[in-house]
Structures are given as structure tokens and as C-alpha cells.
């Protein structure tokens, strides 16, 4: 139902006074429409519909407004800032940096959902979508190429598809470009381990949407087919299901960084061993029991986020099992205290320092270590034994 407007009297210079009905930001005069900001009245022939219930004029349709009154895309945005586009469609034919052409160039700037059609050499086509984050558009100037990359400091299982940001559509600009980063400073990627699992565990009635993309990695000699099968086997051995959310941090080596939000109760990791990939939820060391006798009464004294890495603990568990400690490598966002008159029960994380927690007596601190139950996991022990094996400069 249309809302009734208010009546405003406007005194025109050198002319008569007019009574205008102001409705939805428009002025109505004797069935004619005058839009705020126009220097003159629009044609009196402009149609204005009336509500059959109240007799008041309804909100004018956009298609009856003169083009001069319709806002441009820049005017519709706040202060000229471009609003996110819902999606944009592109086609690519390879993720091999040596085979890229201008046809593989993508522009995902401000896009919330990147819709990509992969065109195989046989002419087969398959469309899939990629995202920067949950409801988060890709940053400005996200223009470049998808490409396959395996860090030299990590095993082949750590391969991933990244996005190389370049100055233009010429593949010659590839080497001078840089990989797109996530908000936490780590490379945006489609991990091979997740692609392999999706390819080999697709439902019978639904084709994996990135199937042609994954198969092109084998076709172009970037990935061995046996590696895909091996990755699928280790994920299956760990009991991870494709219906679950992808782990935030996938670790093939203890040297890899992981992102931790200080006010989250826990953080998720997938430790990838030789025979098993273990999806793990680790209770945050940056929170403590406010009232030990009351469950789920954790205090979170700090806000901010960090990049950390696991390291082999200098002291094993009481039964001799090696465990992990946690080192803060970088503060991604500033760390601030959230508790008024905080007593310093937990020390604020500092770059380069190992994370410490309070002992049970509450009077002294000790190094935080992974719980005995998690530390004994087969995949985690694999990473501890192989620590540093792949560590060379990338």
C-alpha cells in the first residue's frame, strides 16, 4: 500500500506558489512529476499511478522516469566507490604457465563469485565457480591467470592452483606478476589435495565441476596421476568427508604458516602425513578458563590475528612422544586487550615468540604444547619426523 506524502509549498521566483505532494523523494504537482535536483518541471504528461485503496500516488516506476533523472552506477555507489559485482564469466584452457595465452586472462576485480568455464583440448566444457572468501569480493585489480604451483620448500602433495596478478593479458607479464594473497597474507589457492579428493569421490549422480581442470594438470605434465590417487587415499584414511567445510589450514610440513584469530575458541588444521591426512580442531591457546568449574566459560583477553607455525617441542611428553609447540611469526592485525583492568593472566602474543600458557597452579607460565591425544596422531608424528626434509629456499 502506498504511503501518504507530506505537502510542501514552494515559492517560485516571479511566479505563483505551488503545493507539492512529497512522496518517496519525488514531488507530485497536478499529476506531473518533478524530481529533486532538476532545474525545471518535467513534462506534465508523465503518468502517475494512483492507489486504488487510498487515492494517493504510488511510487513511480523507474521505467517512466526521464533518463536525465536516473542515477548512474557511480552515483548509486557510495562516494563513487564501485560496488561488488555478483559474478563474472570467463573461459580458460590451461593452468600451465608455459601454455598460457591471452584467452586465459581473467578479471575478477570486485567479483563475489567468479564463474569460469574450462575448455578442454577436446572441446569439452565445464563450468565451475571460485570465491575469494565467504561473501567477500575479490580485491580491486584482481586481473591475471590461474596457474599451478608447487612450493620448492614443500612436498609434491602441497601443489595448488594460484592466481597470478599481472599488468595485462600478455602471458609475457606472468613472471613479473605476483600471486594473489588472502586477507591474512597467505596465497589464495585451490589446494591439490582437495581437488584430488573431489575428483575421485564425486557422487554418482553429480559430476565434479572442476574435473576437466584437474585432468588438465595431468595432461600438461604438471601432476602425476599416481599423486592424485595417493592424495585421495590419505584423505580417505583420515575420515574427512567432502561435505565438510575445507580446513582453514592444510599442513604438509611444519614450516608452513597457519592463520589464527585470537578470539576464536579453536582453529582447524589438516595435517597431511604419508598415509593419512588428519583433520584436527585445536583449542586456542589464546583463551583460558575464567571459571574452571563452569564449562564453556572461556575468556578471550585479546583481539587480532596472527600467522603462526608449529615446531617440534624441545621437551617430549612424559611417555617420550614428541609433541608440538607454537611460534608467532607475524601479527596480521594489531593485538589489543579486550578486558578492562586485565591482570595479565595470559601474555599477549609477540612476533617471534613461542606461545605460553599458565600452569595449573596459575602462578607460573609454561610453553603451550599440543595435547597428548592429538600429538600421538599418525599424520602429526609423520610431520615431526620429516621436519626440515623439504626445507629449501623457494
pLDDT beyond 60 at 268:
yes
pLDDT for the residue numbered 6: 44
Pairing mode, strands 125-130 and 106-107: unpaired
Calculate the alpha carbon distances from 241 to 231, 237, 246, 278, 373 in Å.
14, 11, 10, 11, 22
pLDDT beyond 90 at 230:
yes
* Secondary structure class of 159 (helix, strand, coil): coil
pLDDT for the residue numbered 141: 96
* Secondary structure class of 197 (helix, strand, coil): helix
pLDDT for the residue numbered 294: 54
Average pLDDT, stretch 138-164?
96
pLDDT beyond 90 at 367:
yes
By CB atoms closer than 10 A (0-12, 13-18, 19+), residue 271 is buried
pLDDT beyond 80 at 315:
yes
Give the residue, 1 or 297, on which the prediction is more confident: 297
pLDDT beyond 70 at 380:
yes
Kindly report, residue by residue over 197-216, the tens digit of the pLDDT.
Answer: 888 766 665 678 899 999 99
Bridge partners, 9 (sequence order) = 19
Give the residue, 99 or 33, on which the prediction is more confident: 99
Give percent above pLDDT 90 in the chain.
61
DSSP for 14-64, written as a single string: TS-EEEEEEETTEEEETTEEEETT-SSPPPTT----B-TTT-PBPPPPGGG
Mean pLDDT over all residues of the chain?
A: 80
Average pLDDT, stretch 318-333?
96
- 25 pLDDT band, cuts 50/70/90, is very low
Give the residue, 157 or 60, on which the prediction is more confident: 157
Kindly report, residue by residue over 11-22, the tens digit of the pLDDT.
Answer: 444 444 444 444
pLDDT for the residue numbered 189: 97
User: pTM for the full model?
Assistant: 0.74
pLDDT beyond 60 at 357:
yes
Give percent above pLDDT 70 in the chain.
70
pLDDT for the residue numbered 85: 56
Least confident range of 15-19, 111-115, 138-142, 242-246: 15-19
Most confident of 99-113, 284-298, 360-374: 99-113
- Closest to 279 in 3D by CA, of 190, 371, 377: 377
pLDDT beyond 70 at 165:
yes
Listed in sequence order, the residues at least 6 apart from 273 whose beta carbon sits closer than 8 Å to its beta carbon are: 234, 378, 379, 380, 381, 382, 383
Instruction: Determine how many CB atoms are found less than 10 A away from the CB of residue 121.
Output: 11
- 176 pLDDT band, cuts 50/70/90, is very high
- 82 pLDDT band, cuts 50/70/90, is low
- Cα dihedral 86, 89, 93, 99 sign: negative
pLDDT for the residue numbered 243: 54
pLDDT for the residue numbered 20: 42
Amino acid at each position: 500500500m502506498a504511503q501518504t506524502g507530506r505537502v510542501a509549498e514552494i515559492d517560485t521566483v516571479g511566479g505563483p506558489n505551488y503545493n507539492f505532494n512529497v512522496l518517496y523523494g519525488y514531488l507530485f504537482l497536478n499529476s506531473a512529476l518533478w524530481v529533486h535536483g532538476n532545474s525545471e518541471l518535467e513534462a506534465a504528461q508523465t503518468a502517475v499511478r494512483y492507489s486504488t485503496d487510498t487515492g494517493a500516488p504510488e511510487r513511480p516506476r523507474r521505467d517512466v522516469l526521464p533518463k536525465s533523472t536516473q542515477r548512474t552506477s557511480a552515483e548509486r555507489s557510495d562516494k563513487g566507490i564501485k560496488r561488488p559485482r555478483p559474478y563474472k564469466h570467463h573461459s580458460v584452457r590451461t593452468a600451465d604457465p608455459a601454455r598460457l595465452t591471452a584467452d586465459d586472462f581473467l578479471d575478477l576485480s570486485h567479483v563475489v563469485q567468479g564463474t569460469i568455464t574450462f575448455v578442454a583440448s577436446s572441446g569439452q566444457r565445464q563450468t565451475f565457480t571460485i570465491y575469494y572468501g565467504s561473501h567477500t569480493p575479490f580485491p580491486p585489480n584482481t586481473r591475471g591467470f590461474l596457474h599451478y604451483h608447487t612450493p620448492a620448500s614443500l612436498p609434491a602433495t602441497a601443489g595448488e592452483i594460484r592466481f597470478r596478478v599481472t599488468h595485462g593479458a600478455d602471458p609475457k607479464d606472468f613472471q613479473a606478476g605476483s600471486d594473489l594473497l588472502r586477507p591474512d597474507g597467505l596465497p589464495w589457492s585451490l589446494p591439490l589435495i582437495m581437488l584430488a579428493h573431489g575428483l575421485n569421490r564425486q557422487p554418482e549422480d553429480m559430476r565434479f565441476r572442476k574435473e576437466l581442470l584437474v585432468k588438465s594438470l595431468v595432461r600438461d605434465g604438471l601432476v602425476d596421476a599416481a599423486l592424485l590417487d595417493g592424495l585421495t587415499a590419505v584423505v580417505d584414511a583420515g575420515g574427512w568427508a567432502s561435505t565438510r567445510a575445507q580446513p582453514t589450514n592444510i599442513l604438509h610440513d611444519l614450516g608452513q604458516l597457519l592463520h589464527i584469530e585470537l578470539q576464536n575458541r579453536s582453529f582447524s588444521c589438516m595435517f597431511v602425513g604419508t598415509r593419512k591426512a588428519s583433520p584436527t580442531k585445536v583449542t586456542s591457546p589464546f583463551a583460558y578458563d575464567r571459571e574452571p568449574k563452569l564449562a564453556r566459560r572461556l575468556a578471550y583477553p585479546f583481539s587480532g590475528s596472527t600467522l603462526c607455525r608449529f615446531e617440534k617441542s624441545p621437551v617430549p611428553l612424559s611417555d617420550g612422544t614428541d609433541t608440538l609447540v607454537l611460534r608467532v611469526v607475524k601479527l596480521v592485525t594489531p593485538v589489543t586487550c579486550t578486558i578492562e583492568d586485565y591482570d595479565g593472566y595470559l601474555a599477549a602474543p609477540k612476533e617471534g615468540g613461542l606461545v605460553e600458557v599458565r600452569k595449573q597452579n596459575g602462578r607460573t607460565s609454561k610453553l603451550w604444547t599440543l595435547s597428548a591425544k592429538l600429538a600421538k596422531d599418525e599424520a602429526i608424528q609423520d610431520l615431526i619426523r620429516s621436519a626440515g626434509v623439504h626445507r629449501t629456499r623457494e
